[in-house]
Structures are given as structure tokens and as C-alpha cells.
Amino acid sequence: MVLSISIIIPTLNEAANIESALARLQPLRARGHEVIVADGGGDDGTAKLVQPWADRVIESARGRAHQMNAGARVARGDVLLFLHADTRLPDDADRLILYGLAQSNPAWGRFDIHIEGRHPLLRVVAWFMNARSRLTSVCTGDQSIFVRRDLFLRVGGYPPIDLMEDIALSKLLRRHSRLLRITVPVATSARRWEAGGVWRTVVLMWWLRLRYFLGASPAHLQRVYEGVRR
């Protein structure tokens, strides 16, 4: 049986880039996969712009965990792929995912990542992200996590937390199945790093992850993150 993929994209004020991002997914729709946009209720008209480009557009409580869980609830695919709006999949992402899941029966996985940008540190950041994930089976959302829908439902989906939801989900999934690593990378925008300064953002993200591993609450870390980014 050929499996189908539901691509779930959480959005919040992505009007400037969302149409081009969704245009790149139309070949996947033509091959029988679906695109679901879960909008967090921004004020720039994103939800209206995406209507022609997606199979489903839903409104959700704000926050990536809430939005991705909402998208998963309406998904029809056998595999759920969680894609950030500023991340570009390889052209044959569906073949890579379905072939990989058919081998040795892993139930979830992620892609290696390439960060698009000129700053030389970005290559180092991407290398460390890929290496850390390979060693720990903990992923970031930028790496486009995918998972069989039955396993996603079994673990209860993304924990409803304000930050680090991708790390929390990874820890749940790795208890049930080994991680499938796809070495063909997704390409993600460097806008988050460049907006806050590359060095400053790298230090901030590592510090937040360290605080999370030491037991700080995601709600507190989200407030810190938002305060620093202003």
C-alpha cells in the first residue's frame, strides 16, 4: 500500500513569503499528498492568501504546538510532516520519507538541515544541529519532523508547551522507534539568526536549551525569548 503524507504548516503573519512557500509544495499535492495550513490568527491576511494553495486551512490557538496538533487532528495522511513556513523541502521529499520508513520499519524521522545565508557561522550551526540530532535522536522543528500518524496519536501529539515542543516530542517518539535520518537536507531561511544577529541568536538558543534541560519551564523560557528578541 502506498502511504500518503499530510504536510502541516503552522503560520503566523507569513503573508510576505507564504505563497511562494506553498507553490513549491504543489507537485507533492499533485502526487496525492495533502497540505494543511494551521494559522495562529495573525493580522496580515495569511489565512486568506493560502486558500488556493492548500487542501485545508484551519484557525488555531496561537503557538506552534497548538497549531500543529490542530493540523494533525484534521489530517488524512498516513504520515504527518511538520514543516515551518520558511523551510524548503527537497523536490523528492515524499519519496525519501516513504522509502526510508519502509526500510527496517522506523516510525519517525527528520531531515538534515542547511541554513541559507552568507554568514560562515551558519554552516557551523547547521553541522552541529545535524550532529547533535544524530547522536541524541532529538530534533528541532527546522529539521522538518515527520511521523506515522498512529504513533503521533499514541504519544498524544506535541506537548502543549510554549517553547521546545519539538524537543519534547522527540523524547516521546524515541521511546517507541529509532529515528530515521534523511541526509538530503531541507533548506531553512536564516532570517531568525540574521534578525537577531547570528552570534547572539546562537548563544541565546543554546542557553535556552540548556535552561530547558535543567528544568526551566517552557512558559518562562518563551517570555525570556520574546523579551530578548524585541
108 SS3 class = strand
Q: Are 39 and 67 in contact (CB under 8 A)?
A: yes
**Non-local CB neighbours of 146 within 8 Å, separated by 6+ positions:** 5, 79, 80, 81, 82, 97, 108, 109, 110
Per-residue pLDDT tens listing for the chain (230 residues): 668 999 999 999 999 999 999 999 999 999 999 999 999 998 899 999 999 999 999 999 999 999 999 999 999 999 999 999 999 999 999 999 999 999 878 999 999 999 998 888 999 999 999 999 999 999 999 999 999 999 999 999 999 998 899 999 999 999 999 999 999 999 999 888 887 788 788 788 878 887 877 787 888 777 777 765 55
Query: Which residues in 127-144 are b (16+ Cβ under 10 Å) and which e?
Result: eebbeebeeebbbbbbbb
Q: What confidence score (pLDDT) does residue 2 get?
A: 66
For the chain, domains (ranges, CATH) are 5-229 (3.90.550.10)
- The answer to pTM > 0.75 is yes
Q: Are 28 and 47 in contact (CB under 8 A)?
A: no
Q: Are 18 and 10 in contact (CB under 8 A)?
A: no
Query: Which residues in 48-69 are b (16+ Cβ under 10 Å) and which e?
Result: ebbeebbebbbebeebbbbbbb
